[in-house]
Structure 1
Amino acid sequence: MEEIDVVVAGTVFNDLVFSGVQIPKMGTEVFAQGFALAPGGAANRAVAAARLGARSALVTRFGSDALSTLTRHQLEQEPNLDLASSILIPNWQGPTSAALADGFDRAFVTYWDQQSNPEWKRDQPVKVLHIGLSQDLPQWAQDLRKRGTLLVGGVGWDPSQEWSSALLDRLKGVDIVILNETEALNYTSCQDLETALDCLTQVVDQAVITLGSQGLVASCAGERFRLPALAVQAVDPTGAGDVFTAGYMAATAWGWSFENRLQLASAAAACSVTHLGGASAAPGQQAIGQLLLEQARRGRIALPDWEFLAQWSGIDSL
């Protein structure tokens, strides 16, 4: 059987995204400059990987309500995205989030009647699997890893803000972890990024800590790497971390070098924040090429430093 490049298992949210707006005080009303309805959550990663050209699949549950029906329909239109392992739950309201973004950060209001997600039951081989670590790894994911699948552990924000150290134990069951700065420092109980990276690489082969506009720090097989962020005019950061993860997973599935994986992930995330929504803002190959050209023309990057990604994006010269 032909291998699936990227499988994403997790919860899909119906994202209602309001941009150019501050969080209102109780009893007041504010007006947003922009609005989008888009699939969110696990869909961000699955769609972003598919748009980059990775053969992708999504393992999730869909509600039967009007918003979930529209979300599912949007996902069915995505080329390279397989929904055959996702299921519909009758009489269930799918998770829904309202995201308020001011161009620099965002806040969420979410409704979520939690349900466990279905399993990947197909014999089709998988190169890279993304799965959440809020609970112990399911047996089916462990079985895929034994057959050669690389596991990316999903972490995310801890709403309790307890930042349980149990996460580090769960990381021993995966190969790759990608966290933002807040998550990395809190989950490892470290005071600085270098120490946090040391802590993470004791339990995983590859660790990436994203720093927003400051770029990233990462480690793979003992090799440390820093990459500054591409300077863009941000409209909505919703889902940018998911798009970053999708770019890294796709490049990993294709066997790219560590540096090139980070470059693709960074460029994809930079593209995504210039538009509204998570999955709806995920870029394709052409958009990344245009971003690199723009960055080079403005003197923000030296295009030869991005030669591999430039060629992949179809850029021949300035």
Structure 2
Amino acid sequence: MPDALPTPAGSPEEQVYDPLAALRTPGTPELDVLIWGTVFLDIIFTGLDALPEDGQEVWADGMGSCPGGIANLAVAARRLGLRTSLAAAFGDDAYGDFCWETLADNEHVDLSRSQRFEGWHSPVTVSMAVNRDRGMVSHGHAPPLGPSELIGTPPPTRAVMVELSEQRPLLGESEPTWVQQAQAAGSLVFADVGWDPSGRWSREVLDQLAVCHGFLPNAGEAMAYTRTSTPHEALYALADHVPLAVVTNGESGALAIDSATGEEAVVPALRVPAMDPTGAGDVFGASIVLGTLAGWPLQQRLAFAALCSSLSVQQFGGSLAAPGWGDIADWWTQRRASSDASSYHQSLLRRYGFLDDLVPAIPLGAGRRATATIARHVDVEGYP
């Protein structure tokens, strides 16, 4: 495996920070998050002036590779200290070896509900970053087994993270799905939703929210499914369906309602040089799940998620860019030490003052972003 990967948890070089340590009492679930989905091998090219045209060859300034797809969400959750289990199919090729070993050995994601399949090749995505946008080419086949076969009876877990889909609904017609089983056993279900290329935006998709605690679409998706014209109107419509409704709105920040606590919150986005948005939504979602499980006020949950996603977009790659607690501690320590007297900086100090209670407890060697790459040494600007 690459010598640039993070050292195993608990080693002298990396210490694990557990933000839910106070909740780990006898009789509570040992697992925090259960996720199912498809893992891709992501190959990321950076520094392109433009995407290639017909018959053209272009050279990239940098390249990295890492597990992608649902692995973005699994790594984001695990780096924030959530004990994460991923159920996914893996090929028996070299790409499958790399993704499995990176997730299991280096990111410490539990793969006991994942399987390797002989003759099934790993899905692959090539991502080409141009300025602040990207183009992608993907190839893959349906996994040999679905979530019910891989997971069986869901293990006790504090949360489940899923995606709403017409093709694979969360609600079973004749018998409960694995998501319904987990929810019935006490798990909080958090969902997002993908873009609908058909343009139908069927309202029946929202019926699946009956089993969900939280729903985290972006503004475009939220307005399309609720037939509303503003993110705030969409938020109120979604809050009628689910206890925790969160709408992300890009550079305008995010807004949320938690009817379980009676809170409503809005936070602006941070001013950062965005390089690659891949995986930022997964980082945001994992942060919201952590804050909810930890019992943080809604304003803090939303601000924390905005911070973590802003840290991720400043680097290239999905799972590659997910921040760890060491990155969060570095950011807050730098903000606190800055002599910047601007109104924006003072606003950051007020908004993130709650980190004063968290950062001192973070070990000096807490995990930071990894540099996983098949090429053994990542060749992307900004990484050592």
TM-score (norm 1): 0.91
Contact 1:303 1:310 (8 Å CA) reproduced = no
1:37 aligns with 2:75: no
1:268 aligned residue:
308
Unaligned runs of 5+ in 2: 1-26, 363-384
Q: Percent identity?
A: 36
Partner AA of 1:153 in structure 2? A
1:232 aligns with 2:272: yes
CA gap of 1:186–1:27, structure 2 versus 1, over 3 A, is farther
Partner Cα separation in structure 2 for residue 157 and residue 295 of structure 1: 36
- Deviation sequence 1:276-298 (CA, Å, 0-9, x none): 21111111111012223444534
- Deviation sequence 1:121-173 (CA, Å, 0-9, x none): 46642111001221211612101111211001131222334322221112222
Contact 2:32 2:84 (8 Å CA) reproduced = yes
Partner Cα separation in structure 2 for residue 292 and residue 230 of structure 1: 13
2:9 aligned residue:
none
Partner Cα separation in structure 2 for residue 36 and residue 252 of structure 1: 33
Partner Cα separation in structure 1 for residue 180 and residue 191 of structure 2: 12
Contact 2:250 2:269 (8 Å CA) reproduced = yes
1:285 aligned residue:
325
Partner of 1:264, secondary structure, is helix
Partner AA of 1:40 in structure 2? G
Partner Cα separation in structure 1 for residue 159 and residue 238 of structure 2: 19
CA gap of 1:162–1:36, structure 2 versus 1, over 3 A, is farther
1:15 aligned residue:
42
CA gap of 1:33–1:307, structure 2 versus 1, over 3 A, is same
Partner Cα separation in structure 2 for residue 259 and residue 172 of structure 1: 25
Q: CA deviation at 1:54?
A: 1.3
Partner Cα separation in structure 2 for residue 59 and residue 123 of structure 1: 10
Contact 1:207 1:220 (8 Å CA) reproduced = yes
2:33 aligned residue:
6
Partner of 2:102, secondary structure, is helix
CA-atom RMSD, angstroms? 2.2
Alignment length (residue pairs): 316
Partner of 1:83, secondary structure, is coil
2:76 aligned residue:
48
Contact 1:103 1:237 (8 Å CA) reproduced = no
Q: CA deviation at 1:7?
A: 1.5
1:308 aligns with 2:354: yes
Partner Cα separation in structure 2 for residue 159 and residue 114 of structure 1: 19
Partner Cα separation in structure 2 for residue 3 and residue 277 of structure 1: 30
CA gap of 1:104–1:79, structure 2 versus 1, over 3 A, is closer
Contact 1:3 1:124 (8 Å CA) reproduced = no
- Deviation sequence 1:33-69 (CA, Å, 0-9, x none): 3221111121111111111111111111112222222
CA gap of 1:242–1:304, structure 2 versus 1, over 3 A, is same
Contact 1:286 1:314 (8 Å CA) reproduced = no
The one of 298, 314, 318 equivalent to 1:258 is: 298
2:192 aligned residue:
154
Partner Cα separation in structure 1 for residue 245 and residue 44 of structure 2: 30
Partner of 2:360, secondary structure, is coil
Partner AA of 1:19 in structure 2? T
The one of 235, 240, 246 equivalent to 1:208 is: 246
1:171 aligns with 2:209: yes
CA gap of 1:304–1:80, structure 2 versus 1, over 3 A, is farther
Q: CA deviation at 1:237?
A: 1.3
Partner of 1:106, secondary structure, is strand
